Amino acid sequence: MTESEGVPTARLRASERCCDFYVERASTDLTVAEIAEAAGVSQRTFYRYFPTKAESLSPVFDWTTAEFNSAIAAASPDASLTDTLGQAFRAAFGESKADRTRALFPLVFADMEMWSVFLRKVHDGERSLAHVLTPRLGLDIDDLSARAAAASVASATRIALEVMVTNGSDPEHVYAQMIDAFTTGTIRRR
């Protein structure tokens, strides 16, 4: 990973090491001393970077959101939005990150504090995603349809990861199903 908007490189590297350590130990029930040592920082630096243990995931979640948004922004304007969203999901959670996605998210979902951080980051991602989607949708950022589209994409992401954790499904496949459900007017048809 490289430096992203608003995420200092050292803090992001420490967050990556924290994530790797949680995965390596298959647990989030670790002391700050253990986590800081694995991250290669002092406890004081750990707390300067992350006010709580759960916040040690924030920079990685922020990076993931930036990757997702960048993939959408970089996509050809001629590409279908559905294909672009699938590529963005793959860029953020699949490919070289797929193993960590499959190993980290069960730990995140089992830890209420980390789950709370994840949900806050999904919300933050939704807000930033609206800015990336509006040009592709031909909407003004203040249009409620832009916010609804961003909420749909963010929710599809969250649900895909939840389903992956609960029953082992391929998150990309579930994500595509969720995008389809949101875009075909499932609620309107009922």
| pLDDT tens-digit series, residues 40-62 | 999 999 999 999 999 999 999 99
Task: Specify the pLDDT at position 6.
Answer: 47
The CATH fold assigned to 58-189 is: Tetracycline Repressor; domain 2 (1.10.357)
Task: Specify the pLDDT at position 185.
Answer: 66
Within 10 A of 55 (CB to CB), how many other CB atoms are there? Answer: 19
- pLDDT tens per residue, range 112-153: 999 999 999 999 999 999 999 999 999 999 999 889 999 999
Task: Specify the pLDDT at position 182.
Answer: 87
Q: Tokens 């996509």 appear where? A: 75
Confidence of residue 4 (pLDDT cuts 50, 70, 90): very low
pLDDT for 188 beyond 80:
no
3-state SS, the chain, equals CCCECCECHHHHHHHHHHHHHHHHHCCCCCCHHHHHHHHCCCHHHHHHHCCCCHHHHHHHHHHHHHHHHHHHHHCCCCCCHHHHHHHHHHHHHCHHHHHHHHHHHHHHHHCHHHHHHHHHHHHHHHHHHHHHHHHHHCCCCCCHHHHHHHHHHHHHHHHHHHHHHHHCCCHHHHHHHHHHHHHCCHHHHC
Please give the mean pLDDT across all residues of the chain: 92
Confidence of residue 3 (pLDDT cuts 50, 70, 90): very low
